[in-house]
């Protein structure tokens, strides 16, 4: 596959998406958004892909929108940044949350602006100890976007979300893990090894069941307890009809590791 701003590699059920504009800390451009749309379609449509791993080339994860790329769409009232969100960022974040496969981020360096939002939209986030998270938006007079105002208060609580979004200070990966923004922080030289080991486990897991877990967690944000119990009932009905559930129980009874096929 020929891409200019990303790398895409599929092996053993794991699709690795590497944002690849290292001299700009992998900042988003319109071209990158176009390529991201294509690989998200591939990730959805290719049954051989059972886990998506997102990382960055060079010393950055993603620095958000490329600030050297101009003001984007302009109408009579001036720049229309809402258009970029409508066209590029919002569909990307929605597709990541709706993708019926787990997404793991290996945050190797600065994750700023919409780059931080991108990490928060993943199901699991592992970060290198030297990585930082930055709600850069207020530093340039913008509003957090690409889902940050949705994910942050839910993950970190409203006090910390307000601090991060209004102060625009870098948050070290270790604190991000302590605050529950990410799953864990590891030594830099172990990041990709740890991420690959998690990705391998996800890619050999009960993919359909994992997608139902993702669906349940997505929906819990908007439900009361009774509503969520109903969601669990409906999703468990589906999980109970998968081949992987039969295999999981058989493997347990036979005291051997399960061989999940992802359906």
Shortest CB 130 distance to ligand T3D, Å: 10
d(CA 126, CA 53): 11
DSSP, collapsed to helix, strand or coil, labels residue 73 as coil
Shortest CB 38 distance to ligand T3D, Å: 19
Nearer CB in complex with ligand T3D: 109/205: 109
Shortest CB 6 distance to ligand T3D, Å: 16
Nearer CB in complex with ligand T3D: 93/114: 114
Shortest CB 10 distance to ligand T3D, Å: 28
* Torsion, Cα of 90, 92, 93, 99 (10° steps): 140
d(CA 248, CA 233): 19
**Runs of H (alpha helix) within the chain:** 30-45, 81-84, 90-98, 114-120, 148-156, 158-167, 173-178, 191-203, 207-220, 225-239, 243-253
- Burial degree of 252 (CB within 10 A; 0-12, 13-18, 19+): exposed
Shortest CB 102 distance to ligand T3D, Å: 25
Shortest CB 186 distance to ligand T3D, Å: 20
Question: Which residues contact residue 224 at a Cβ distance below 8 angstroms, ignoring those fewer than 6 apart?
Answer: none
Nearer CB in complex with ligand T3D: 59/160: 59
Nearer CB in complex with ligand T3D: 70/240: 70
Nearer CB in complex with ligand T3D: 27/57: 27
- Burial degree of 138 (CB within 10 A; 0-12, 13-18, 19+): middle
- In the complex, which residues of this chain contact ligand T3D (CB under 6 A)? 24-25, 27, 63-68, 72, 81, 84, 110, 112-114, 134, 136-137, 140, 142, 145
Shortest CB 29 distance to ligand T3D, Å: 9
Nearer CB in complex with ligand T3D: 17/49: 17
Nearer CB in complex with ligand T3D: 152/199: 152
Shortest CB 92 distance to ligand T3D, Å: 12
d(CA 219, CA 215): 6
210 close to 101: Cβ distance less than 8 angstroms: yes
Nearer CB in complex with ligand T3D: 11/68: 68
Structure tokens at 257: 């590791």
Q: List, in sequence order, every residue forming a beta bridge with 6; answer none if it has no partner.
A: 19
Q: List, in sequence order, every residue forming a beta bridge with 111; answer none if it has no partner.
A: 62, 133
d(CA 176, CA 160): 11
């Amino acid at each position: 596959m020929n891409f200019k701003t990303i790398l895409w590699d599929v092996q053993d059920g794991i699709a690795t998406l590497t944002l690849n504009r290292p001299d700009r800390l992998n900042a988003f451009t319109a071209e990158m958004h176009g390529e991201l749309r294509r690989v998200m379609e591939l990730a959805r449509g290719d049954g051989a892909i059972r886990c998506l791993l997102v990382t960055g080339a060079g010393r950055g994860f993603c620095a958000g929108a490329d600030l050297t790329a101009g003001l984007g769409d302009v109408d009579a009232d001036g720049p229309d940044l809402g258009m970029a969100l409508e066209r590029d960022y919002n569909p990307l974040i929605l597709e990541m949350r709706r993708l019926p496969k787990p997404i793991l981020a290996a945050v190797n360096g600065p994750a700023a602006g919409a780059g931080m939002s991108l990490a928060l939209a993943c199901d699991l986030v592992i970060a290198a100890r030297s990585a930082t998270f930055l709600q850069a938006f207020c530093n340039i007079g913008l509003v957090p976007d690409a889902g940050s105002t949705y994910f942050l208060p839910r993950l970190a609580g409203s006090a910390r979300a307000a601090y991060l979004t209004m102060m625009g200070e870098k948050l070290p990966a270790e604190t991000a893990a302590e605050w529950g923004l990410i799953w864990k922080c590891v030594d830099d030289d172990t990041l990709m090894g740890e991420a690959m080991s998690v990705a391998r486990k996800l890619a050999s897991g009960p993919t359909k069941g994992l997608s139902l877990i993702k669906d349940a967690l997505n929906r819990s944000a908007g439900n009361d307890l009774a509503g969520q119990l109903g969601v669990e009932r409906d999703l468990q009905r589906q999980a109970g009809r998968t081949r992987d559930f039969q295999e999981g129980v058989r493997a347990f009874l036979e005291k051997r590791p399960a061989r999940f096929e992802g359906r």
